[in-house]
Amino acid sequence: MKKSKIYSVLVFIFMIASNHIHAQQTPQFSQYMFNPVFINPAYAGYKEQIYVQSYYRTQWAGIEGSPKTIALAADGFLDSKQLGIGIHAINDQLGANRTNAIYGNVAYHLQLSEEQFLSFGIGLGLVNSFLDGSLLDGLDSEDPGIPTAGGNVSYPELKSGLFYYDETFFFGLGIDNLASIFLGSDRGDFVLNNTIETNIFTGFWLDLSNEVSMKNTLLLLDDFRSPARFDFSSSLLFYERLWLGLTYRTAVDYANRVNNDNLKRGTGLVGTVQFWLVNGLRIGYAYDHQINSISLRSFSTHDISIGFLFPQRRPKLYSPKYF
């Protein structure tokens, strides 16, 4: 079978990296607005019930070696201690690179008033990255810049965050890759991502009628190295069962970090549908479409999620958790 174009692109990137390979990149999700625990550990326990969810994302579907991400998360709430606890695991694949990570999250939820809360969270994880050089098909089979044996590196990871919320508004700040401050970046064939990454996630809830509500959100992702990413999302909830949403995603190079116009103007649209079935079961799907890109705009990206909200052992009155 003929190698696809993406493999050639990946090989080119590996070759110009001077025999080094970055061991991790940040996985991308398109349904984070329905449970941001993947980007902010302070979110753990927000729903005050045990919540389990899974994600599968395939980017540029149909291209061999294209990015694929699988994730599983679970979190709950210890009411007596006002603590949210959780765990999530991620498997990220890009060409010959495989990255596996597992995180434990703890968040303390401080009650500011009857309806206002502020949580502080940390996430401690272990990341393993593996490179299978046999999958790389270079222009020159004798090129020493293309590794022929598998490389393997493991290292700790630390996340932190805060999350303010009430019945109609929320604001979250997450910081990733904090452990890089204490780690050396050069690991032989690997160069660890030693750039701290931040995200700001905020939004509000609005009841349009007894049957229809709206949630609007804004996400800013910035690694202070490449153009920042902005996501503007709006979702409608019908009869507390069906979500329909649209996200406008764009890159903003406000600090003039790159010279490539395509990277500066990367823009896409994401359509999202979520459906709450009986007994706490939720199914979601997102479709990404690039408005402008370098060469892959004709390929599709799919994001599928399945979640389950366990019923409470001791039912109590509380406001629905829509964030």
Residue 212, pLDDT score: 96
For the purposes of burial, counting CB atoms within 10 Å of the CB of 256, is it exposed (0-12), middle (13-18) or buried (19 or more)?
Answer: exposed
Residue that wins the pLDDT comparison between 20 and 288 = 288
Single-letter amino acid code for the residue at 4: S
Please provide residue 144's backbone torsions phi and psi, each rounded to the nearest 5 degrees: -70, -15
Would you say residue 9 has pLDDT above 60?
no
pTM of the complete model: 0.81
Would you say residue 107 has pLDDT above 80?
yes
Strand pairing partners for 97?
94, 131
Residue 218, pLDDT score: 95
Residue range 109-141, pLDDT digits in tens: 999 998 899 999 999 999 998 877 666 665 555
H runs (alpha helix) in the chain: 5-16, 261-264
CA distance 282 to 318: 20
Confidence tier at 17 by pLDDT (50, 70, 90): very low
